[in-house]
Amino acid sequence: MAKKLYKSRTNSKIDGVCGGVAEYFNIDPTIVRIAWLLFAFSGAGIIAYVVCMLIIPRAPKAADEYPSNEN
């Protein structure tokens, strides 16, 4: 199965973009957040983050997050 990039549901500060990138590359999300912050100071980082917020889909819910129909 191919690996897919999703916004994180569990490791989210603003919209889960940095958490999702960190999960995709299997690295610490703090490193991604610091790198993105440094990139944001160049001006293009903020625009890139907003674009990622709009384009990257949210991770699918886990089976245990769905409501149960059991009575």
pLDDT digits (tens, 9 = 90+) for 48-60: 888 988 998 998 8
Instruction: Provide Rg for the chain, Cα atoms.
Output: 14
61 or 7, which is more confident: 7
**6-30 mean pLDDT:** 88
pLDDT score, position 54: 92
pLDDT score, position 68: 55
Q: How far is CA 11 from CA 19, 68, 71, in A?
A: 5, 25, 32
Tokens 């907003």 belong to residue: 50
pTM (whole model) above 0.75: no
